Amino acid sequence: MRYSYEFKKEWVELYRQGQWPDTPEGIKEKSFYGIIRLWSRLEELHGQEILKHDNNINWTADDKLEMVNKVIAGNSIKSVAIENGINPGQLYTWVSKYKIYGYNGLVNKKKGRKSNNLMKKNIDPKPKELNESEREELIRLRTEIDYIEAENEVIKKEIALREKHYAAQLKAKKQRSSKNSKKKDIN
């Protein structure tokens, strides 16, 4: 659920005064009070502006790495997240990506569909003549592309064979376990 800035501000103020008004419908009381405590800590560290929705920061991979390293060093995800003014769930995602992909998992990737700029460019209908060195380079590059494409096909086939082999192993394992369960039922 998204709460307005005024709502957050009001509830944090009530929390600081020691009052606990009624919890909104559809939300567990314990988790909502935890959210209010989180808002309060964020506001103490970063000011009231942190409670607004439009305070998104584009973190660089190095900034993310610094926070992830703090978590790996033993600090809690929640404390590091509050210290930096981000959602603990976001930091948890970064830590997971770092553990799986390393530094590359923290690099911001472009989102959305790739643009097709080839169609937009004005292509000269009459290409200029190539000199001898350019022609040799073109031939070499085309040969290299053919080699890489063939290499990719081999890798794809190898992956498909592994997946097929793994699926066959799983199927055999299921059959063995179903036979064993039938034997146990008979006994």
Question: Which residue is it, tokens 């988790």?
Answer: 31
* CA 128, 132, 138, 142 torsion-angle sign: positive
Residues 6+ apart with CB under 8 A from 1: 24, 26, 27
Q: What does pTM read for this prediction?
A: 0.47
More confident residue, 187 or 184: 184
Higher pLDDT, 7 or 160: 160
Q: Where are the domains of the chain?
A: 1-55, 58-109, 131-186
Nearest to 8 by CA among 55, 54, 50: 50
Give the Cα separation of 160 and 77 in Å (integer): 39
- What whole-number distance in Å separates Cα of residue 93 and Cα of residue 160? 30
Specify the fold of 58-109.
Arc Repressor Mutant, subunit A (1.10.10)
- Tokens 């073109």 correspond to what residue? 138
Top pLDDT among 5 and 90 is at: 90
175 phi-psi bin (left φ>0, alpha ψ -120 to 50, beta other): alpha
Residue range 140-181, pLDDT digits in tens = 999 999 999 999 999 999 999 999 999 999 999 888 888 777
Report which DSSP code applies to 52.
Answer: S
Q: What is the pLDDT of residue 137?
A: 92
And the tokens for 133? 């060195």
Cβ burial, residue 6 (10 Å; 0-12/13-18/19+) = exposed
